[in-house]
Amino acid sequence: MKRILIIILALLITGLAGGYEYRMPVNIQSSTTPAVLMPGDEAILAIQMQNGAAAYGVGKDAGVSSLSSNVLLSTPINRTLLQGTSELEVIDPYRYDLGMVGPNDQITVFYKVRARENVSAGTTLLNFTVLGGYDMITINRNIPIKVDPSAVSMAIIDSTSSSPSTTPSKATVNLNVANPRENTLNAVTIVPSAQGMRFSPERYYIGTMDPDEVFTISFGVEYTDLGKTARNPSNVSFVAEFKNGDTWHESEPYIATYTPPLQADRSNNNLLLMAVGALVLLAAGGYLYRKKRLSKNGDGGKGSS
């Protein structure tokens, strides 16, 4: 009798087990912060795994399952693995015992991904493996990681004189600053430098720059060497400091030739001096010519008497 009860109990348990359907999370999405990496960046990669079994209806095949039945239950996530490459390093690639995911519920795992200095531009696919379900089913997905080495770009627009009549050593430089990247940059700051010149402000803080956004900024320029204003055009260097995610970056120096607008005023002054000199010479020549003529007339009058 006891043996019969054990057999009946075993059959009941088997029947109940056959009434459940264990499904793996087949819907996998990912996002990175920052969205696009630069060489040397460390990004946070978030991978969301959703149990999409309920979306297919009770008792229907969701693509990956352990047992076919009419009831949907949570499924365990036993392990995940994100594999890096020679250019993209995954810090701590394994996650264990992530818990149960019910129908239409989701679980998010986070990874740190570091881009090496020699990383290539473009999109790299990292292999992501999920091991779960009651019969240890494995799912593999490709996780895209974007890399772009582009930094903040700059270009001089023009330069204007502030007050050539009273402050011949001062001028203003206007600069276009653009973010050519697909993602937002933070704490953007432009730092100018040039020998024999002082800039105001010393550092221009722009702040956040959205993708394809352009700012026009101005620097006051004052020559510390007053004799430099009369020399040839000068080379001015601009460097952009900014953050991509949590990583600080510095652009390559943008070197431009700066021509002081006051040189045109000096040319005009030189022309004016030349004109005045010419008038003085003409006046002196006219005076000498008239004096000589009067002297001739005086000598002729003496001879006739």
Q: Check residue 17 and give left, alpha or beta (phi > 0: left; psi -120 to 50: alpha).
A: alpha
The two structure tokens encoding residue 136: 């240890």
What is residue 61's predicted lDDT score, i.e. its pLDDT? Answer: 43
Single residue among 124, 147, 170 that ends a domain in this structure: 147
The rounded distance, in Å, linking the Cα atoms of 105 and 100 is: 9
Looking at the fold, whether 113 and 200 belong to one and the same domain comes out as no
Q: Is residue 291 part of a domain?
A: no
Beta-carbon contacts of 5 under 8 Å, excluding residues fewer than 6 positions away, are: none
Q: Is residue 129 part of a domain?
A: yes
The rounded distance, in Å, linking the Cα atoms of 305 and 295 is: 17
- pLDDT above 70 (res 265): no
Q: Indicate the length of the chain as a whole number.
A: 305
Looking at the fold, whether 124 and 194 belong to one and the same domain comes out as no
Nearest to 237 by CA among 172, 127, 154: 154
Mean pLDDT of 98-117: 92
CB 182 within 8 A of CB 210: no
CB 114 within 8 A of CB 88: yes
Looking at the fold, whether 209 and 225 belong to one and the same domain comes out as yes
At 289, phi and psi to the nearest 5? Answer: -65, -45
Q: Is residue 171 part of a domain?
A: yes
Q: Which residue's entry shows tokens 């209806």? A: 57
Q: Is residue 162 part of a domain?
A: yes
The two structure tokens encoding residue 249: 């970056």
Expressed as residue numbers, the domain containing 33 is 20-147
Looking at the fold, whether 117 and 27 belong to one and the same domain comes out as yes
Q: Judge residue 242's burial from the number of C-beta atoms within 10 Å of its C-beta, 0-12 exposed, 13-18 middle, 19 or more buried.
A: buried
Mean pLDDT of 234-244: 95
Looking at the fold, whether 76 and 179 belong to one and the same domain comes out as no
Q: Is residue 235 part of a domain?
A: yes
What is residue 263's predicted lDDT score, i.e. its pLDDT? Answer: 47
The two structure tokens encoding residue 45: 């990669």
What is residue 157's predicted lDDT score, i.e. its pLDDT? Answer: 87
Looking at the fold, whether 167 and 216 belong to one and the same domain comes out as yes
Looking at the fold, whether 162 and 253 belong to one and the same domain comes out as yes
Single residue among 227, 246, 261 that ends a domain in this structure: 261
Mean pLDDT of 157-173: 63
Looking at the fold, whether 67 and 104 belong to one and the same domain comes out as yes
Looking at the fold, whether 91 and 179 belong to one and the same domain comes out as no
- pLDDT above 60 (res 301): no
Greater confidence (56 vs 206) lies with 206
Supply the DSSP symbol for 74.
-
Beta strands in the chain (DSSP E): 20-22, 27-33, 36-37, 42-50, 71-73, 75-83, 88-91, 94-101, 106-115, 122-132, 137-147, 153-161, 170-178, 185-193, 197-200, 204-209, 214-223, 234-244, 247-250, 254-258
The rounded distance, in Å, linking the Cα atoms of 250 and 305 is: 97
Looking at the fold, whether 55 and 135 belong to one and the same domain comes out as yes
Single residue among 122, 147, 172 that ends a domain in this structure: 147
DSSP string, 233-298: -EEEEEEEEEEETTEEEEPPPEEEEE--THHHHHHHHHHHHHHHHHHHHHHHHHHHHHHHHHHHHH
How many structural domains are present in the chain? 2
**Bond prior to 201 in cis (omega within 30° of 0):** yes
pLDDT in tens, 1-60: 656 655 555 555 444 444 444 456 568 999 999 999 999 999 999 999 988 765 554 444
Q: Is residue 273 part of a domain?
A: no
Looking at the fold, whether 178 and 199 belong to one and the same domain comes out as yes
Q: Is residue 120 part of a domain?
A: yes
Confidence of residue 286 (pLDDT cuts 50, 70, 90): low
What is residue 272's predicted lDDT score, i.e. its pLDDT? Answer: 58
Looking at the fold, whether 159 and 143 belong to one and the same domain comes out as no
Beta-carbon contacts of 242 under 8 Å, excluding residues fewer than 6 positions away, are: 151, 152, 185, 186, 187, 188, 189, 209, 248, 249, 251
Q: Is residue 289 part of a domain?
A: no
User: C-alpha distances in angstroms, 110 versus 30, 33, 78, 153, 259?
Assistant: 10, 11, 15, 32, 53
Residue 88's CATH number = 2.60.40.10
